[in-house]
Amino acid sequence: MVTSSSQTMQRLDSQFPIKAEVRSLDFYYGQSQVLNDINLAIPDRQITALMGPSGCGKTTLLRCFNRMHDLYPNNRYRGEILLDQRHNILSPTIDPIEVRMRIGMVFQKPNPFPKSVYENVAYGLRVQGRTQRSDLDEKVEAALKSAALWHEVKDRLKEPAFNLSGGQQQRLCIARALVTNPDLVLFDEPTSALDPMSTAHIEELMRQLKAQVTILIVTHSLQQAARFSDYAAFMYLGKLVEFQKTTKLFAEPQDPLTQSYLSGSVG
C-alpha cells in the first residue's frame, strides 16, 4: 500500500537486512501532529541513533516502536512500522503487549522496581508466566552477563535493586530488557542521568550488545551518536531530515539543516 516515497530509504546503502521499517508514520497527540511522514529502515544488529534538538519528536518516535503511546488517551498513529518485513506492529489488531514482549526498552532514568536484583531481571519472564526456577536462574544469569553486571551482583542477587549505584541500576534495567531475548531494544537517552564513567561503561556495553540485538537509541549528545552508532537519523520539528551511515552523516551532511545542527547553530 505504501510506496517508499522517501529518498532517505534509497540513499541508505545497507549491507544489512532490515529489522524494522517505518513507513509514512504520522503521530498525533490530540489535535497536534508530533510526527510527520517518517520513513526509516532500521538495520539488523546495528546501532541506530535518533538525534535532534529537544522537542523534535525523537523520543515520540522511539516510543511508537513498543506502542508506549497506547498507555495514554488521545494518541493516534497513522502509517506502519513493519517488524521483520512482516508484522505491522502499529496495527490495531495487534495487542501492544505482544509488541512489548518482542521489543524491549531502557529508559532515561534507571527505573528498577522495588524488588531484589534477581526479581528485577526475572520480571519479564515472570510476567509471561514462567516460574521454573532453573529456567529463571539460567536466563537471569545470562541477561546479567550480557549486561556486564553479573560479576558485580552475583553475590547480591537477593539485595534490593535500590542499593546498586546509578550506573549499575541502569545496567540492571538493560539486563531486565534483555532477559526475554527481544528482537529490538529501545534506549531513551539511557546515559543522560549518569556520570561520565558509567556513561562510558554503558556505551561500551552497547557496542558489545549489537552482536546479539538490534539497538535503536535516542540521544541528545552528538558526540555520543558519533562515538558508537552505526547509523544516525537527524530529526527536526517532527520530520526526519536525514538518515545516513553515522560516519557519512557527520563527514558530509547533505541537508543544510543537518549541517547547521552539527555545526551548533540549530538546537
Partner 1 sequence: MALRDSTPLNPWRRSRDRQRWTERAIELLLLLAALSSIATLLGILYVLVGESLQFFQQVSLWEFITGTRWTPLFGDPKYGIWPLLSGTLTTTFVALLIAIPFGTAIAIYSSEFAPATVREILKPLLELLAGVPSVVYGYFALLVVTPLLQQVLPWLPGFNMISAGAVMGLAIIPLVSSISEDAMQAVPNTLREGSYAMGATKLQTALKVVFPSAISGIMSAYILGTSRALGETMIVTIAAGLQPTLTFNPFEQAATITAYIVQVSMGDLPHGTLQYQTIFAAGLTLVLLTLVLNIIGHLLTKRYRERY
Partner 2 sequence: MLAAKFSDLITPQLGHQLHQRKLLNLGFMVMGLVAIMVALFTLAALIIHMAMSGWPRLSTWEFFTAFASRRPERAGILAAWVGSLLVISVTAIVAVPIGVAAGIYLEEYARKNWLSELIEINVTNLAGVPSIIYGLLALGVFVYEFKFGRSVLTAGCTLALLILPIVIVTTRESLRSIPQMIREAAYAVGATQWQVIWHHVLPYSIGGILTGTIIGLSRAIGETSSLITIGALTFIAFLPESPFQGKPPFVSWEWLNSPFTVMPIQMFNWVSRPNPEFQVNAAAAGTVLMTMTLLMNGFAIYLRYRLRQGIKW
User: Where does residue 254 rank: exposed (0-12), middle (13-18), buried (19+ CB within 10 A)?
Assistant: middle
Task: Fill in the per-residue mask, 49 to 88: x = in contact with partner 2 (CB under 8 A), - = not in contact.
Answer: ----------------------------------x---x-
**Partner whose binding site includes residue 93, from partner 2, partner 1, none (CB under 5 to 8 Å by kind):** partner 2
**Between the CA atoms of 186, 242, 81 and 191, what dihedral angle is there, to the nearest 10 degrees?**
10
**Partner whose binding site includes residue 89, from partner 2, partner 1, none (CB under 5 to 8 Å by kind):** partner 2
CA distance 189 to 108: 5
User: Using CB under 8 A, which residues numbered 54 to 83 contact partner 1?
Assistant: 66, 68, 71, 73
Q: How far is the CB of 98 from partner 2 (least distance, A)?
A: 5
> Which lies closer to partner 1 via its Cβ, residue 2 or residue 127?
127
Q: Among 42, 68, 99, 174, which residue interacts with partner 2 (rule: CB under 8 A)?
A: 99
Task: Fill in the per-residue mask, 159 to 188: x = in contact with partner 1 (CB under 8 A), - = not in contact.
Answer: --------------x--xx--x--------
**Partner whose binding site includes residue 94, from partner 2, partner 1, none (CB under 5 to 8 Å by kind):** partner 2
Q: How far is the CB of 77 from partner 2 (least distance, A)?
A: 16
CA distance 47 to 228: 8
Is 87 a binding residue for partner 1 by CB under 8 A? The answer is no
Is 2 a binding residue for partner 1 by CB under 8 A? The answer is no
**Partner whose binding site includes residue 111, from partner 2, partner 1, none (CB under 5 to 8 Å by kind):** partner 1
User: Using CB under 8 A, which residues numbered 198 to 237 contact partner 1?
Assistant: none
CA distance 88 to 98: 12
Beta bridge partners of 76: 28
Give the interface with partner 2 as residue ranges (CB under 8 A): 83, 87, 89, 91, 93-95, 97-99, 101-102, 127-129
Give the interface with partner 1 as residue ranges (CB under 8 A): 66, 68, 71, 73, 97-98, 100-101, 104-105, 107, 109, 111-115, 123-124, 126-128, 173, 176-177, 180
